A and B are shown apart, each in its own frame.
Chain A
Amino acid sequence: MSALFLPLVLSTACTVDERTLVVMAEEEQLDSWIVLEDLAREFEAEHPGVHVRLLPLGGAAGAQDKGKFMLAGDLQLDLLRIDITELAAYVGEGALLDLSPCFEADPTWDPQDYFPSVLAALRAPDGRLYGLPSTFTPYVMYVNRDLLHERGLEFPTPDWTWDDFLRAARSATRAADGNGRPATVGISLTQWLQAVAPWIWQNGARLLDDEGRAAMHEPAFVEALEFLHGLLHEERVASFDASFQNQLSQGLFQAGRAAFYGPVGYWETYRFRHIEDFAWDVVPLPRGERSATAIAMTVYVVPRTSAEPELAYRFLRRMAGERYQRTLARIGNGVPGLIAAARSADFLKPDVAPASEHVFLDVIPEARFLPPLSNWRAIETLCQAELEGILLVEDFDVAAACERMRAKTQRFLDREARRRSLPRMAPWAVPGTLALGLGVLVAIGLFRRGRRPVAWRAREERQAYVLLLPWGLGFLLFLVGPALVSLVLACSEWTPLRPFADKRWVALENVTRLFSDATFATSLKATAVYALVAVPLGLALALALALLLRRATFGVGAVRTLAYLPAIVSPVIIGALWRVLLRADDGLVNAGLEAVGLTGPAWLRDPDWVVPAFVLMSLWSVGAQMLVFLGALQAVDPALEEAARIDGAGTWRRFRHVLLPALTPVVLFNLLTGSINAFQIFAQPYVMTGGGPGDASRFLILYLYQTGFRHLDVGYASAIAWVVFALLALLCLVLLRWSRRWVWYAAETPS
C-alpha cells in the first residue's frame, strides 16, 4: 500500500550536471557558508558547465565520520575538510591525491604565501603536498585580567615561566565557603593529548623517540604530568573537567572564576567575546625548560577517488585563498593559514577582545604538530583514559599510568605497521558468505518442512507467507545480508578509507584480540554494572510510579503526562541538557542535594560517579516502562483486590499476592526490553562524555563505534558487535528460563 506512493514522493534522485564538483568542507550554520556559496557561484560563472555542490559537514558529532562513509561507499567527493591528526591515516591508506603536480604546474602558486611550518605539516617526507590549510591555532593561555589585577598580580610577560605561573595561580586561588570549595582557581586546565603535549615538550620530553616508538615512559614525560597532577592535587590551584568537548572548563573561565584557562586554541575567542563582566586576554604558555606549544589545524584535501581533481585543485586554491580565509578569521574559526589573511585586520580585530590576538602569530615559531604518524586521533582516544586518570584521581601512580599509555600506543603502532603486510581477502568472500547463508536458510526450511497439511490449511499457509513477504524481504535484505557481511568483516582488517574490495584477511585474530584488550574489559564491566543497576532500579521506580498514578485522582492525568514526557525527548537533547544539570559546582542536581544537606559528587568528572550519573538519567526516562505497568495494573480485576480486602489482607499482602502476580508478565517484558536498551546505551555517552573520564563510561556500543570510526578498525568493531550480540542473546535466554519460575499467567495461556 504505502509502497505504491513511495516512488512519487521520493523522486529525489540527483540530476547530474555535465561536470559536478562535490565539496564537503564547512558547517552550514557558520556565517562563512554564505561566502562559500558565493565562491561556488563565482567559480561556476568562470567555469561554464561546472556545477559546485556544497555538502555541509554534519556538525561536531558527525563531521569526521560522514566523509569516511562517503569514501567507503565510493561516492563522488572532490574536496574534503579533515583534521590534521587524521591526515597521516588518510595518506597511509592511499585515500588522498598527491597535489604536487598541480602546484608545480600552477604559475600563481607560491608556497611563501602560507606559514611554512603549517604547510610542512601537509607534506609527506618525500615532498608530496596533499592539501592546503583551512585554519589552524597554536595553543595559548587565556587570562582573566581583572582577576589578576584584583589579586595584585602583574599581567604575565610573554617569556613567563612555570614558576611565575605557579606563583600567580597560587595567589589567584581563593576558597569561598566553609566546605573548602574554591571561589576562584588559578587555572582551569584542559586535558586532551594535544593540550597536554605543550607541557611535555616544554619539559624536554617527547611522545615518540627517534625510532618512532612510543616514549611516554621517559622521566621528563612523567615529570611533566606529575607537575599537572600536582597543580590539581597538591597545590590545589587548578580545576579540571573531563567533560566532553571541554565545555565546563570554558564555563569556569567564562564565569570569571579562573585566572587562567588553557592550554587552548583560538576558537574560544568566539564564545568569550560575550564576556562583559571582566577584561580578558591571551598570553603565550609559560615556558618550562624550553618554550613550546602545540598546533591544532583543519585542512582541505582531495580524495584519491575525486572525479574532477583538476577542478578540485582550483577550488581548493580559492578556499585557501585570501577572501575565504579572511572570512573564516573574522568569524573566529582560527588563524588563517594564508599569511596575508592572518596579518589582516580581519584576524587581528583591533577593536574586539582579546587585545593580543598577535600572540597567536608570535608563538608560531615554537609551535609543533603531533609527530607525523598514522592516526593521532586514535592514539588520542587511547591516551585520553590515562590522562584523565592522572588529572582526576588524587592518589594516582603517574609513572605507571605513563607506562600504560606507552604500552597502549606502542601496541597500536605495531598493529598499524603490520596491517599493510596482511594478505588480501579473496573477492568471493562476501558473495560466498551471502550465498552460503542463503543456502543454510533454504536448507533449514526444507529440512524442517514437516507434514503436508490438509487443503484449507495449505491455502492459509500460502497466504500467511504472502502476508509475511514485506517483513521477510526486509529481513533478508537489511538484516541477514548486512549481518553476514559484518561477519566477514569481523574476520578482516578494513578501514573505511580503503575501497570495500580491499579487505585484508586476519582469520580469528579480531576475536582473540578481545581477550587481551584491557579497554574492552573495562567497557564490558562498565556496561554490565550500568545494566545491573539501571534495570532493576528502573523497574522499581516505574512500578512505584505506576502504583502512585493508577487511580485517577485530581492531577494524576497531568503528572502521568509529565512523567512520560522525558521518554519522548531525543537523546541528543537529553545529553545536552543533563550535561548542564550534572555540573559538579553549580548543576541543579547537586544544588538539590545541597538543599537537603548532602554534598553531591562530581558526576561526569568522577570515574566512580559517571556510571551512576547515567543511571540517574535513565531513571528520568523511565516513563515508557511506567506506562506498561500502568496498563497492566488497570487490567487487574478490581473485584480480586476487593475480595482480598474483605478477607482481611493488608496493603502489603494485597500488593504481594494480588497485584504482583498479575504484573509478572509485564515485569518480564520490561526486564527484557530494559536489559536490551541498557546494553545498547550509546547516544548519551556519545554526546556527554565521549567515554570518559578515563574509560569509565566507554560502554560497549560506544567503544565499538569509536573503534570503527576513530581507530578506523572496522574489522575489530564488527567482532565486538558480534560479541555484544552473543552476550545479549545469552542474557535474554537466561532471563526467559529464569522467568518460568515466577511469571504467572492468568487463566488463559498464550496460544
Chain B
Amino acid sequence: MVAALGLVRRGDAFVRRATHYVLLGMTAVVFGFPLVFLLLTALRPEGQGLRGGLLELPTEPAFENWARALEQMGDFPLLLWNTTVITVLSIAGQLFTCSLAGYAFARLRFRGRDTLFLCVLATMLLPDQVTAIPKFLLFRQLGLVDTFYPLVLPTVLGGAPFFIFLFRQYFLSLPEELSEAARIDGCTPFQAWWRIFLPLARPMLATVAIFTFLATWNDFWAPLIYILSPEKRTLTLALAGFNRTYNTAVEHMMAASSIVLFPCVLIYFLAQKVFLRGIRVAASKH
C-alpha cells in the first residue's frame, strides 16, 4: 500500500510499480463496475434483468430496450430540448451571479462584507426541503408555475452558495496587484470584474458550469413540482416515470437511465481537464 503511494525509497522499483498498477486496476474495477452492470442490465431482454448470472453477457443483446425506452419517454427531442434550455440558462445564471458575488466578496471592501458572506455560508446548511412549500406558493403567486422560471430564476437571482464560495476562493488567490492596476487604469469594479477577473477565472467558470450542468441535468425534485404540462417535461421526469408503482421493467429503466446518463459522461470526458484545474484552485485555500 505504502509503496503504491509513490513515496518509498528507490531500489524496490519493481515491487513498487507492480503494487501501484494492481491498486490502479482494483480502483478501476471497483469504481467502473456498477456502471458496466447498468449497461449489461439495459441489454437484457425484458423480464431477464434481475435473474441470476448478473455478470453474464446477454446472449442476445436486447438493443430494442433503448428503442422502447426512447419511445416510452415520449417526445425525446422535445425532452432533450427542454432539459438543455433549462440547463444552459441555469449555467449562465450561476456563472453570472456567483462570479459577481464571489468577486465582490473577495476583492471589494465594503461595510457588512463578512456578515453577508456568513449569510452565504449559512444558507448551505438550510435543507432545500425547508423552503420548498413557501417557494412553491411564491411562484404560484407570481403565476410562474408550469414555466421554466422557477427552475432558472433562483440561479440568476441568488445563485448557489457553494459556487459563490468557490469563486471567492478563486479570486482571493489572484494577486492583489491586479485590483490596484485596474483602479489606476480607471476601471470601475464592474469593469475590472468583466475585463480582468472573469477571463482569468476560466478554470473556475468551467468547474461551476459542469457542477451546474450535472445538478440541473439530474434534478428531479424541482421539475416534478413545477412542471405540469407534458410538453414542458424534462428528461429526469420522464426517467422517473419508469419507476412506477406497478409495471416497472428494470431493463427499460436501466436503458432509459443510460440514455439520460450519456450526455453527463460525454461532457465530463470532454471538459475534464479544465474542470480538474478549477477544482485544484478552489481547494488550495480556505
Q: How many A-B residue pairs have CB under 8 A?
A: 419
Residues on the B chain within 8 Å of A564, using CB: 268
Residues on the B chain within 8 Å of A178, using CB: none
> B241 and A728: CB pair below 8 A?
no
Residues on the A chain within 8 Å of B123, using CB: 475, 479
Residues on the A chain within 8 Å of B137, using CB: 72-73, 485, 500
Does B247 sit at the interface, judged by CB under 8 A?
yes
Interface string of A22-56 (1 = CB under 8 A from B): 00100111100000000000000000000001111
Main secondary structure of the interface of B (DSSP, over half): helix
| Shortest beta-carbon distance from B75 to chain A in Å | 10
| Shortest beta-carbon distance from A587 to chain B in Å | 8
Name A75's contact: one of B140, B149, B244, B283 (CB within 8 Å). B140
Does A122 sit at the interface, judged by CB under 8 A?
no
| Shortest beta-carbon distance from A142 to chain B in Å | 14
Residues on the B chain within 8 Å of A56, using CB: 230, 233, 241
Residues on the B chain within 8 Å of A561, using CB: 268-269, 272
> B230 and A477: CB pair below 8 A?
no
Interface string of B136-180 (1 = CB under 8 A from A): 111010010111110011101111001010000000100010000
Does B31 sit at the interface, judged by CB under 8 A?
yes
> B156 and A12: CB pair below 8 A?
no
Main secondary structure of the interface of A (DSSP, over half): helix
> A445 and B112: CB pair below 8 A?
yes
Does A537 sit at the interface, judged by CB under 8 A?
no
Interface string of B45-73 (1 = CB under 8 A from A): 01110111011000000000000000011
Q: Which residue of A lies closest to B251 (CB)?
A: A274
Does A254 sit at the interface, judged by CB under 8 A?
yes
Does A632 sit at the interface, judged by CB under 8 A?
yes
> A467 and B244: CB pair below 8 A?
no
Residues on the A chain within 8 Å of B2, using CB: 651-652
* A43 to B147 Cα, complex, angstroms: 27
* A665 to B286 Cα, complex, angstroms: 6
Interface string of A364-400 (1 = CB under 8 A from B): 0000000000000000000000000000000000000
Known A-B contacts A29-B72, A56-B230, A732-B125; A474 and B156 likewise in contact (beta carbons under 8 Å): yes
Does A74 sit at the interface, judged by CB under 8 A?
yes
Interface string of B19-56 (1 = CB under 8 A from A): 01101100110111111011001000011101110110
| Shortest beta-carbon distance from B189 to chain A in Å | 5
Does B208 sit at the interface, judged by CB under 8 A?
no
> B229 and A562: CB pair below 8 A?
no
Interface range, A side = 35 or more
> B241 and A58: CB pair below 8 A?
yes
Residues on the B chain within 8 Å of A623, using CB: 31
> A478 and B279: CB pair below 8 A?
no
Residues on the A chain within 8 Å of B9, using CB: 650-651
Name B127's contact: one of A24, A270, A701 (CB within 8 Å). A701
Known A-B contacts A69-B225, A632-B280; A482 and B156 likewise in contact (beta carbons under 8 Å): no
> B32 and A489: CB pair below 8 A?
no
Known A-B contacts A28-B74, A467-B189, A561-B269; A473 and B145 likewise in contact (beta carbons under 8 Å): no
Does A14 sit at the interface, judged by CB under 8 A?
yes
* A247 to B136 Cα, complex, angstroms: 33
Most buried by B among A9, A474, A544, A558: A474
> B280 and A28: CB pair below 8 A?
no
Name B236's contact: one of A332, A461, A562, A572 (CB within 8 Å). A572
| Shortest beta-carbon distance from A269 to chain B in Å | 10
| Binding-face segment, A215-223, A344-352, A577-585 | A577-585
| Shortest beta-carbon distance from B218 to chain A in Å | 3
> B283 and A547: CB pair below 8 A?
no
Residues on the B chain within 8 Å of A555, using CB: 21, 24, 28
A-B pairs, top 7 by smallest CB distance, nearest first, are A474-B158, A274-B47, A631-B280, A474-B157, A267-B246, A570-B218, A482-B134
9 interchain pairs, CB-CB under 8 A: A9-B148, A255-B52, A467-B101, A474-B157, A559-B24, A570-B236, A571-B220, A635-B280, A655-B7
Apart from A467-B193, A561-B268, A728-B125, what 19 extra A-B contacts exist at CB < 8 Å?
A9-B148, A55-B230, A70-B228, A75-B140, A270-B246, A274-B46, A449-B111, A460-B109, A467-B101, A467-B190, A470-B100, A555-B21, A580-B50, A581-B34, A588-B34, A651-B9, A701-B129, A725-B125, A743-B286
- Interface residues, chain B, with chain A CB atoms under 8 Å away: 2, 4-9, 17, 20-21, 23-24, 27-28, 30-35, 37-38, 41, 46-48, 50-52, 54-55, 72-74, 85, 89, 92-93, 96-98, 100-101, 103-104, 108-113, 115-116, 119-120, 122-127, 129-131, 133-138, 140, 143, 145-149, 152-154, 156-159, 162, 164, 172, 176, 188-190, 193, 214, 217-218, 220, 224-225, 228-230, 232-233, 236-250, 253-254, 257, 260-261, 264-265, 268-269, 272, 276, 279-286
